[in-house]
Amino acid sequence: MKMNSSSSAKRNALKRGLIAGSITAITYLLVVIITTPNLPYLAALTAAIKVNGIIVLGLAIAIGVQIYMSNYGKSLGCNIVNKREGIVGSSSSITLSSFFSFFSLVPLGCCGSWLLILSLLPSVFGSAFSVILIQYSKPLSYLGLFIVIGYTGFSAIKLQKGLKKIEKGKAQKKVSFMT
């Protein structure tokens, strides 16, 4: 019976992770479509996937895995996500990675609405910093993806440690009942 509930918890967590990863990819691609009124949606999607396919896929997988681990851990009584850490660390790096990756689509004619944002950068950050942000948008988007993947790795380690503690506690309870 216990095995069945564990597999059910894994299935539910997996479903939630797949849904979250899919929503992440769909949201990214919808932003590309919405902000690219001058290109047919298929051309905009093709350009986004060719130029930023690793970013889109990486973010979707990392978010899906994070949601899976979080839900699976919660179902077993192991809370791996510190609310403040989880929301701020993960969300800000996802946002930055996506933000920078959109800049690399502008020269292709995609995300034309981002040109307005690019034109506002010098007034917000200053000219030199804005040039750096635009010039290095691709490496910065990969850096954001690396941070998201790193956070996912740390979450996996926390989950593994939490599960070991739970197993250790169960083993100690069995020993105390036997004596």
d(CA 20, CA 3): 26
pLDDT at 71: 87
pLDDT at 82: 57
Residues (pLDDT < 50) of the chain are: 1-3, 84, 86-88
pLDDT at 37: 81
Number of domains within the chain: 1
pLDDT at 177: 56
pLDDT at 176: 59
Question: Domain span at residue 10?
Answer: 2-178
Six token digits for residue 147: 């941070």
